[in-house]
């Protein structure tokens, strides 16, 4: 039992390290964007394809919910609490390390954007794909999108229902019902 608790503690410490590194990178890149892009012409990396362009996003993804700071902070905190709960519930086996990393990345991305919203009343965005006129985004958004895609792929192709039974609130009742049915 002690070994299992120690392994869980070590894994959560690793989650915290991943989270802190990702959060630092996000906040640092936003700081650079403020220093080098704010009130300046876009920095073109590939003409007609990609540039760094400063934007103050006062809404959520794709600029939705403009000016709803309190709502976005409350929803963000609730969602972050759910993700942290899931991180603590995840099993400690090597098989679940991708889930730990993905959830840590999503939490880092969400908190990174929440820090901006709290400090500045907006989120600093600066990546812009001109070629497809995709909405301007930031590093935290990349964490959230990439980690969510990886989670989706893992849930579809890597993990079986039994592997994810720890997510179920009804697992004990369900297990008893299966025994009775046999």
Q: List, in sequence order, the alpha helices (H) in the chain.
A: 2-37, 69-89, 97-120, 139-153, 171-181
Token pair, residue 145, equals 């999108």
Q: Are 9 and 97 in contact (CB under 8 A)?
A: no
Rounded to the nearest angstrom, the gap between the alpha carbon of residue 171 and the centroid of all alpha carbons in its chain is: 27
Our answer to whether residue 163 is catalytic in this structure is no
Active site residue 116: no
**Residue 27, both tokens:** 């906040």
Please tell me whether residue 68 adopts helix, strand or coil conformation: coil
Given the residues 15, 26, 116, 141, the one annotated as active site: 141
**39, 116, 125, 161: the active-site residue:** 125
Cross-strand bridge partners of residue 52 = 43, 127
Give the chain's length.
182
Beta strand 123-129 with 43-46 is unpaired
Helix (H) or strand (E) holding 124: strand 123-129
**Active site residues per annotation:** 125, 141
């Amino acid at each position: 039992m002690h070994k299992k608790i120690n392994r869980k503690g070590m894994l959560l410490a690793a989650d915290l390290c991943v989270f802190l590194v990702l959060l630092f990178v996000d906040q640092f890149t936003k700081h650079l964007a403020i220093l080098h892009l704010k009130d300046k012409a876009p920095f073109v990396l590939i003409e007609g394809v990609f540039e760094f362009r400063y934007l103050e996003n006062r809404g959520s993804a794709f600029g939705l919910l403009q000016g709803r700071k309190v709502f976005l902070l409350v929803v963000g905190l609730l969602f972050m609490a759910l993700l942290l709960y899931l991180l603590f519930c995840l099993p400690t086996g090597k098989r679940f390390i991708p889930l730990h990393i993905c959830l840590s990345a999503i939490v880092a991305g969400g908190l990174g954007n929440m820090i901006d919203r709290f400090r500045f009343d907006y989120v600093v965005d600066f990546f812009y794909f001109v070629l497809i006129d995709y909405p301007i985004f930031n590093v935290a958004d990349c964490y959230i999108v990439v980690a969510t895609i990886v989670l989706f792929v893992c849930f579809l192709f890597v993990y079986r229902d039994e592997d994810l039974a720890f997510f179920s609130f009804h697992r004990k009742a369900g297990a008893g019902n299966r025994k009775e049915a046999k």
